[in-house]
Amino acid sequence: MIPRPLTALAAATLLFAGCEEERPVDRATREGILLLGNGDEPKALDPHLISSVGDSNIMRALFEGLVTYHPSEDATHAPGVAERWEHNEDYTEWTFHLRDDARWSNGDPVTAGDFVYAYNRILHPDLGSPYASMLHLLENGEEFNKGEIDDFSQVGAKAPDAHTLVCTLREPAPYFPDLVKHTTWLPVHKPTIEKFGNMTDQFTLWQRPGNHVGNGPFMLESWRINGGVKVIPNPHYWDRETVTLNGIVFYPLANNFTEERAFRDGLIHKTYIIPPDLIGYHKAESPEYIKLDPYAGVYFYRCNVTKAPLDNKSLRKALAFAIDRETIVKYVSQAGEQPAYGVVPPTEGGYQPHHGVEFDLDKAKAYLKEAGYESGADVPEFEILINTSESHKAIAAAVQDMWKKHLGIEKVTIANQEWKVFQTTLRELRYQCSRSGWIGDYLDPSTFLTMWRTGDDNNQTGWGNPDFDRLLTEAANQIDPGERFAKFREAEAVLLDELPMIPIYWYTQKYLLDPAVGGWHPLLLDNHPYKHVRLDPSKIPSE
Amino acid sequence: MDTISDIEKGSSLGRDAWVRLKKNKMAMFGLWFFVGITLVCFLLPLLPVLPDPNATSPELRSLGPFSEAVANDGTERFYLLGSDNLGRDIFARIVDGGRVSLMVGFIATAVSLLIGVVYGAVAGYVGGRLDSVMMRVVDILYALPFMIIVIILTTFFDNSLWLLFLAIGAVEWLTMSRIVRAQVLSLKEQEFVDAARSLGLSNGQIIFRHIIPNTLGPVIVYTTLTVPAVMRLEAILSFLGLGVQPPNASWGSLVKEGADRMISDPALLIFPSAIFALTLFAFNFLGDGLRDALDVRASKD
Amino acid sequence: MSTPAYILSRLAQSVFALFCIVTITFFLIRLAPGGPFSEDRVIPPHLVAKMEAYYGLDKPLPVQYLKYMGNFVQGDLGPSLGNKGHTVNEVIAQSWPVSATIGLVGLLIALAIGIPVGVFAAARPNSKTDYTLMAVATLGICLPTFVIGPLLAATLGLKLDWFDVFGWENSSAWVLASLTLGLYYAAYIARLTRGSMLDQLSQDYVRTARAKGVSPNATLFKHAFRGGITPVVSYLGPALAGLIGGSFVVESIFGLPGLGQHFIKAATNRDYTLILGTVTVFASLILLMNFIVDVVQTWLDPRRKLGA
């Protein structure tokens, strides 16, 4: 009885050893199937119910917006369902002309009405879409989303005919084509949604393989929870000639180390991320695989200005000036990030960030005095709150030790909390100092600045400044791009003078990429249009 | 009373057990290793020879053992076992982490011992309906989702080390109580309990003075096996990020960090996991040796 | 108590225990901060309220509880709050085979290695062989699975390229996962077997057999083995439950879509219904195993059998 499982195991060993001739990733390359590590399991395959980066990656394969991302140029707007578009003089009214040949994956034509229906759905308070605020720019969009008006016809989205969509905005938005590339502006197929439930039902079966209808270059083939989402080319897609892939598999690989091993084992073409401590190894061993691309995001420490001791502006400044950001990006985060001396990354459409903080110990010590502390030892105890993660932990330990080494502040502790607990603590302002990050939704400084308005849901520091709010409103009503950016810079200066947030670095996108993948260029928002991605079998490494 | 306590006193088996234990080389190795590592972890930090385990020098990251280096700010550093990803001293962190891990092991085991022994003894001795209710409670607690409980406790009591001890102790007493109960069930039928009862001792006195001391063998054995089990559990909590708070270390968190950096920096895995494994090893052999020495039958649970 | 009556009452106790566990969990998870609808970005409270109303989470807790239990009794575990468009029953149905496979194979590996090693060591107590075998077995217990897993992945997976290091469909990563789980339990079973074999060898009936001239090997296998294996059998229940329930570390390391991963993710997502669903599965498993062990033990124990 005993040897049997052993023989079975031995047989299994031989079996698997025998058929491992070609790496799965190389076979996939030959077959034109792109295998991607994609972070967490998708919450939904419904563009109106998701909010994470990984989920939006899948949405870009399954749906197509009015305007889409260009494969290599951030500033270029590639036509999507809309062939062309124009705006009025003050950028408050945009007219999109939809192409005739745009089709849903079941063959139905994509019409302007589908977009209006989608905007109605995402803004409808009953759906409770987590990301509906992206459409508050539409006239009366916010009011409708809050339930203050019930009549959607008052919202600034109209379809005068099947191929014309007119969006009226509440303020000038020169960056509007950028905004409508976002997943929240994607259309949905009304007959499919209503076949499986009401417009505002969260839980319906329309997102299942076989039921799902999209208008993107790809359509849903299979979805296994925690096992992967597979998409195949959409035969009705208008630009199907451009699509060369025969399919994409999005693997949920939440464990970064597993993902990195899967890449080395030849099981995926691209990792979602690479853990900082393995960057050095890959740079040395396989520099041709590792990619470190600039990314529109900022890593910072929030300060709760309603709680001692960080309610003291000078203390916040002392802390900000005592962080050696060069050392952090070079030795701790290690992914070629840029030290952040301002809030807005230098990626936002030519905007030059305000240089508000730096690493300067003399100034730091002067600020500490100004704050009323003779030495760092007098600073009362406070806590850095992080969410559980090895990289946040390393940065917090480094920052804590810098404050100790450079300013003599001894009584700083670090506490890590599980993600949801962490979010709750932040929201209820029960922290003193906390690690945070913000990734831009589109390429415009406003995506990094509006969150700091007084009382904004994402502010979470208790900070507010009337000058800052006024400058942002003035910027929002500017039509001239230069004037607009000038206002943003003024606002950023106000923020950096008071420092409710201490910038640490500007993100990079760090991942491993198989050389057989072509058409994958660095993009600031990391939103790659899959229809331009190619797999080149000639690049398969020969054994 | 004098006469009763005189009669109560039994003959000590301790000396015999010690003689038997001394013959078992592995067990003695376990004992001395345990004594040694405890002394090092608790006493060495009191002497001014160890660097600050939390002092970083990121520019001196990932140095090998016996490295001497000068940090950017001019301080000279000597790394006995090398430096970690932030240029911290691995040796100092292992010693520091050992204190945490051993303390978690001891305190959680003490908590589980206290609850488990009393609970099991009462259930076993009283028996009947109470016993079956108490044991069903244990069954229920066994099947409760540990992670959820830990998260909830974490938020109620703020993330502290004490909470960790408590949480782990609260899980580990279940097995202990089953073992003690099984022992007590067989003990209470024996003559000496009848004898004690006939001497007019109360139930409490019988449980605490006669029953519990007689379960000592299996309890000691299980205790030496609980300490490593608790230390493993602490390590698993570290895997989930629920263990000791940074920048402090425990062996569990050091091993976890090492496992993550296995390919880039194998020393970070090898040193902490070697010391962790050796300590658990020592405890296990000490437990085995004690079982043989005390002649404890394999427990039925 | 007659045997059928004993079994019936044990069964009733287990069902009651399951009911208690579900009830406790139901109320306990609501104490944890955060909810299923909090996200990276703050969602305005009025939208969160809408979502809660959609899933009936706005009603008083006792009402929710009654409704949940009503469906629960009918086998309906409700919609998953974190996986839109999937019911908890579906999620469990998809992930259960994964955990069961790696758990069962892991157990087989553990038994195939553990029992022979334990018996072998017990046959020569305190010899060099005994020490060496036990030292190796103990090492298995001393290293956490999150070290053994990546080590196996690095060696058998990446270096030798025998198995894949990730994935379920068309992937051999489950072998590594089972091996990682199995090695730990093998070490435990080896130690357990050795201990109880030694115990049996010192029992009167074995001594009698030996005195009657039965050969040492026959004593070992015919007489001592049956009694010596009893603790291992009792341990099988908890071991299998532990293998399946405790597999979340291994599932995470090898990226397997099993129950353990769902449990951890459900906990971090505050997916209340999925938490309750996975807890129900784990708890039923543990209770079922304990129940079976109780019944089998009565049958296996030679002393009890003699008494019967």
Reported as a single tens digit per residue, the pLDDT across A88-133 is: 999 999 999 999 999 999 999 999 999 999 999 999 999 988 889 9
A314: Cα separation from own chain's centroid: 33
Q: What tokens does C210 get? A: 């030996």
* Confidence tier at A214 by pLDDT (50, 70, 90): very high
Which residues are CB-neighbours of C146 under 8 A, at least 6 positions away? B235, B236, B239, B255, B256, B259, C249, C253
User: How wide is the angle at C-alpha C22 spanned by C-alphas C18 and C26, nearest 5°?
Assistant: 170
Q: Please give the Cα distance from A227 to A245 (Å, whole number).
A: 21
Q: Is residue B260 part of a domain?
A: yes
pLDDT digits (tens, 9 = 90+) for B155-179: 666 666 777 787 788 778 888 888 8
- pLDDT at position A204 is 87
Please name the residue of chain B whose CA is at the shortest distance from the CA of residue C126.
B24
Q: Is A398 on the interface with B (CB under 8 A)?
A: yes
* Confidence tier at A7 by pLDDT (50, 70, 90): very low
- Dihedral over alpha carbons A450, A455, A456, A457 (to 10 degrees): 160
Give the CATH number for residue B265: 1.10.3720.10
Cα-trace Rg, chain B: 23
C-beta of residue B267 within 8 angstroms of C-beta of residue A415: no
Closest partner CB to A261 (pick from C37, C54, C158): C158
pLDDT digits (tens, 9 = 90+) for C18-77: 999 899 889 988 887 788 887 777 788 888 888 888 899 999 999 999 999 999 999 999
- pLDDT at position A18 is 46
Q: Is the peptide bond preceding residue B145 cis, with omega within 30 degrees of 0?
A: no
Work out how many domains chain B is built from and give that number. Answer: 1
Contact yes or no for A331 and B73 at CB 8 A: no
Which residues of chain B make contact with C158, given a CB cutoff of 8 A?
none
- pLDDT at position B137 is 87
- The residues of chain C scoring below 70 in pLDDT are 1-2, 245-246, 297-308
Does position B207 have pLDDT exceeding 90, yes or no? no
Does position A33 have pLDDT exceeding 60, yes or no? yes
C-beta of residue B190 within 8 angstroms of C-beta of residue B265: no
Task: Name which of C83, C94, C193 to mutate to probe chain A: the one with the most chain A Cβ atoms within 10 A of its Cβ.
Answer: C83
Q: Is C180 on the interface with B (CB under 8 A)?
A: no
Please name the residue of chain A whose CA is at the shortest distance from the CA of residue B154.
A417
Q: Please give the Cα distance from B98 to B250 (Å, whole number).
A: 6
Residue among A521, A518, A520, A514 nearest A540 (CA):
A514
* Percent of chain A residues topping a pLDDT of 70: 96
Is residue A491 exposed (0-12), middle (13-18) or buried (19+ Cβ within 10 Å)?
buried
pLDDT digits (tens, 9 = 90+) for A57-78: 999 999 999 999 999 988 889 9
Please name the residue of chain A whose CA is at the shortest distance from the CA of residue C250.
A258
Which residues does B contribute to its contact with A (CB < 8 Å)? 54-56, 58-59, 61-62, 72-73, 85-87, 151, 154-155, 158-159, 240-242, 245-247, 257, 260-261, 263-265
Q: Is A414 on the interface with B (CB under 8 A)?
A: yes
Please name the residue of chain C whose CA is at the shortest distance from the CA of residue B24.
C126
pTM: 0.89
In chain C, what are the domain boundaries? 1-308
As a whole number, the mean pLDDT across chain A is 91
Q: Which domain holds residue B26?
A: 13-53+89-299
Q: Is the domain C1-308 a CATH 1.10.600.10 member?
A: no
Q: Tell me the count of A-B CB pairs closer than 8 A.
A: 80
Which residues of chain A make contact with B245, given a CB cutoff of 8 A?
413-416
Contact yes or no for B291 and C195 at CB 8 A: yes
Which of A302-311, B186-195, B260-269, B278-287 has the lowest average pLDDT? B186-195
Q: Please give the Cα distance from A55 to A44 (Å, whole number).
A: 7
Contact yes or no for C282 and B145 at CB 8 A: yes
Q: Is residue B67 part of a domain?
A: no
Query: Which H or E run includes A257?
Result: helix A256-264
Q: Please give the Cα distance from C189 to A36 (Å, whole number).
A: 40
What part of C 25-64 touches B (C-beta under 8 Å)?
25, 28-29, 31-33
pLDDT digits (tens, 9 = 90+) for C284-297: 888 888 788 777 76
Does position B133 have pLDDT exceeding 60, yes or no? yes
Q: Is C82 on the interface with B (CB under 8 A)?
A: no
What part of C 144-203 touches A (C-beta under 8 Å)?
150, 153-154, 157-158, 160-172, 175
Q: Is A374 on the interface with C (CB under 8 A)?
A: no
- pLDDT at position A2 is 35
Contact yes or no for A126 and C32 at CB 8 A: no
Beta-sheet pairing, A412-417 with A382-387 = parallel
- List the subunits that have 3+ CB pairs under 8 angstroms with A: B, C
The Cα of C135 is separated from the nearest Cα of chain B by a number of Å equal to: 8
Helices of type H across A286-418: 313-321, 325-327, 361-370, 390-402
Which residues of chain B make contact with C267, given a CB cutoff of 8 A?
145, 147-148, 151
Contact yes or no for C54 and A202 at CB 8 A: yes
Q: Is residue B79 part of a domain?
A: no
Contact yes or no for B247 and A330 at CB 8 A: no
Mean pLDDT of A348-353: 80
Contact yes or no for C46 and A125 at CB 8 A: yes
Annotate C180-232 with DSSP letters as a single string.
HHHHHHHHHHHHHHHHHHHHHHTSHHHHHHHHTT--HHHIIIIIIHHHHTHHH
The Cα of B59 is separated from the nearest Cα of chain C by a number of Å equal to: 28
C-beta of residue C69 within 8 angstroms of C-beta of residue A160: no
- pLDDT at position C307 is 33
The Cα of A422 is separated from the nearest Cα of chain C by a number of Å equal to: 9
Task: Name which of B263, B265, B268 to mutate to probe chain A: the one with the most chain A Cβ atoms within 10 A of its Cβ.
Answer: B263
Contact yes or no for B247 and A397 at CB 8 A: yes
Does position B151 have pLDDT exceeding 70, yes or no? no
Residue among A114, A124, A134 nearest A198 (CA):
A124
What part of C 27-56 touches A (C-beta under 8 Å)?
32-35, 37-44, 46-48, 50-51, 54-55
Contact yes or no for C38 and A17 at CB 8 A: no
Please name the residue of chain B whose CA is at the shortest distance from the CA of residue C24.
B144
- pLDDT at position C236 is 77
